[in-house]
Amino acid sequence: MTQKYDVIIIGAGMSAMAAGIRLAHYGKKTLILEKHFISGGLNSYYQRGKRKFDVGLHALTNFCGPREKRKPLTKLLKQLRIPYDTFELQEQSHSLISFPERTMKFSNDFNELVEEVAQNFPHEIDGFSKLVSYMEEYNEVALDNETIMAKDVVSKYIKDSLLIEMIFCPLLIYGSAWEDDMDFSQFVIMFKSIYLEGFSRPKGGVRTIIDTLLKRLEESECEVRFRCGVEKIITKDGKAIGVLTTKGEEIHADKILSSAGNPETMKLVNNDLSQDQLPAIGKLSFTETILCTDQRPKELGQDATIIFYNNRDKYSYRRPETLIDNRSSVICLPNNFSNDELDEGWIRLTMMANYPKWKELERNVYLEQKNIVLEESIEIAKKFLPNWDGSFQFKDVFSPTTIERYTGHFQGTVYGSTDKKRDGKTEYENLYLIGTDQGFLGIVGSMLSGVSMANLYGLMD
Amino acid sequence: MEAVEVRNIVLEIIEDVALDEDLTNLKDEVSLRDQLDLDSMDFLDIVMELKKRHKIEVPQEDYPQLATMQSCVEYLTPKFQ
Ligand SMILES: Cc1cc2nc3c(=O)[nH]c(=O)nc-3n(C[C@H](O)[C@H](O)[C@H](O)COP(=O)(O)OP(=O)(O)OC[C@H]3O[C@@H](n4cnc5c(N)ncnc54)[C@H](O)[C@@H]3O)c2cc1C
Average of per-residue pLDDT across A430-455: 96
- Cβ neighbours of residue B28 under 8 Å, at least 6 residues apart? B7, B68, B69, B70, B73
The binding-site residues of ligand 1, defined as CB within 6 angstroms of any ligand atom, are: A 10-16, 33-36, 41-43, 56-59, 61, 229-230, 259-260, 264, 268, 286, 288, 403, 407-409, 414, 435-436, 441-443, 446
What burial class does residue A427 get, using C-beta atoms within 10 Å of its C-beta: 0-12 exposed, 13-18 middle, 19+ buried?
exposed
Which pLDDT score is estimated for A252? Answer: 98
Average of per-residue pLDDT across A128-157: 94
Residues of A whose CB is below 8 A from B37:
67, 69-70, 74
Sheet holding A345-353, edge to edge: A103-106, A95-98, A306-310, A328-332, A345-353, A285-293, A394-398
Q: In chain A, which residue's Cα lies nearest the Cα of B53?
A: A26
Which pLDDT score is estimated for A142? Answer: 87
- Using the 8-state DSSP alphabet, how is residue A454 labeled? I
What is the A414 CA–ligand 1 centroid distance (Å)? 7
3-state SS assignment for residue A55 = coil
Q: Read off the pLDDT band of A68 (50, 70, 90).
A: confident
Tell me, yes or no, if B13 comes closer than 8 A to chain A by beta carbon.
no
| Cβ–Cβ gap B17/A78 under 8 Å | yes
Which pLDDT score is estimated for A241? Answer: 98
Domains and CATH numbers, chain A: 3-85+204-278+418-458 (3.50.50.60), 111-197 (no CATH), 283-407 (no CATH)
Split into its structural domains, chain B has a count of 1
Q: Read off the pLDDT band of A164 (50, 70, 90).
A: very high
Give per-residue pLDDT as tens, B5-27: 999 999 999 999 998 899 999 99
Average of per-residue pLDDT across A54-82: 94
Give per-residue pLDDT as tens, A17-39: 999 999 999 999 999 999 999 99
**Averaged pLDDT of chain A:** 96
3-state SS assignment for residue A298 = coil
Q: pLDDT at residue B45 above 80?
A: yes
Q: Are A70 and B39 in contact (CB under 8 A)?
A: yes
Q: In chain A, which residue's Cα lies nearest the Cα of B35?
A: A69
CB atoms within 10 A of CB A161: 12
**What count of CB pairs under 8 Å joins A to B?**
32
**Sign of torsion over alpha carbons A338, A342, A344, A347:** negative
Q: In chain A, which residue's Cα lies nearest the Cα of B45?
A: A79
ipTM above 0.90, yes or no: yes
- CA angle in degrees (0–180, nearest 5) for A16-A440-A251: 25
Least confident of A113-122, A276-285, B37-46: B37-46
Q: Read off the pLDDT band of A69 (50, 70, 90).
A: confident
User: Which residue among A42, A223, A331 has the greatest number of ligand 1 atoms within 8 angstroms of its CB, and so is best to mutate?
Assistant: A42
Q: Read off the pLDDT band of B69 (50, 70, 90).
A: very high
| Cβ–Cβ gap A84/B37 under 8 Å | no
Q: Which CATH number belongs to the domain containing residue B72 in this structure?
A: 1.10.1200.10
What is the A416 CA–ligand 1 centroid distance (Å)? 9
Using a pLDDT cut of 70, give the percent of chain A over it: 100
User: Which residue among A9, A17, A39, A43 has the greatest number of ligand 1 atoms within 8 angstroms of its CB, and so is best to mutate?
Assistant: A43
CA distances in angstroms from B45 to A23, A305, A381, A423, listed in the order given: 12, 38, 48, 21
Cα A171 to Cα A416: distance, rounded to the nearest angstrom: 15
Of B37, B44, B52, the CB nearest to A74: B37
Residues of A whose CB is below 8 A from B17:
78
Q: Are A48 and A394 in contact (CB under 8 A)?
A: yes
Average of per-residue pLDDT across A176-188: 95
Using a pLDDT cut of 90, give the percent of chain A over it: 96
Cα A400 to Cα A421: distance, rounded to the nearest angstrom: 24
Give per-residue pLDDT as tens, A249-267: 999 999 999 999 999 999 9
Assessment of whether the complete model's pTM goes beyond 0.90: yes
Which pLDDT score is estimated for A416? Answer: 96
Cα B1 to Cα B5: distance, rounded to the nearest angstrom: 7
Using a pLDDT cut of 70, give the percent of chain B over it: 100
Q: Read off the pLDDT band of A377 (50, 70, 90).
A: very high
Average of per-residue pLDDT across A67-84: 93
Which pLDDT score is estimated for A146? Answer: 85
Give per-residue pLDDT as tens, A49-64: 999 999 999 999 999 9
Which ligand 1 atom minimizes the distance to the CA of A436? 26
- Cβ neighbours of residue A136 under 8 Å, at least 6 residues apart? none
Give per-residue pLDDT as tens, A222-247: 999 999 999 999 999 999 999 999 99
What is the A452 CA–ligand 1 centroid distance (Å)? 17
Residues of B whose CB is below 8 A from A81:
16, 19
Domain that holds residue B67: 3-80
Which pLDDT score is estimated for B40? Answer: 87
Which pLDDT score is estimated for A324? Answer: 98
Q: Are A15 and A434 in contact (CB under 8 A)?
A: yes
Least confident of A51-55, A284-288, A388-392: A51-55
Please name the amino acid found at residue A117: V
**b vs e for A347-370, b when ≥16 Cβ sit within 10 Å of the residue's Cβ?**
bbbbbbbbbebbeebeeeebeebb
Which pLDDT score is estimated for A376? Answer: 98
Q: Read off the pLDDT band of A94 (50, 70, 90).
A: very high
Nearest CA to ligand 1 atom 2: A56
Q: Which residue pairs from B74-80 have beta carbons closer than 8 angstroms and sit at least 24 positions apart in sequence?
A: B76/B6, B76/B9, B76/B10, B76/B50, B77/B1, B77/B2, B77/B3, B77/B6, B80/B1, B80/B5, B80/B6, B80/B9, B80/B54, B80/B56
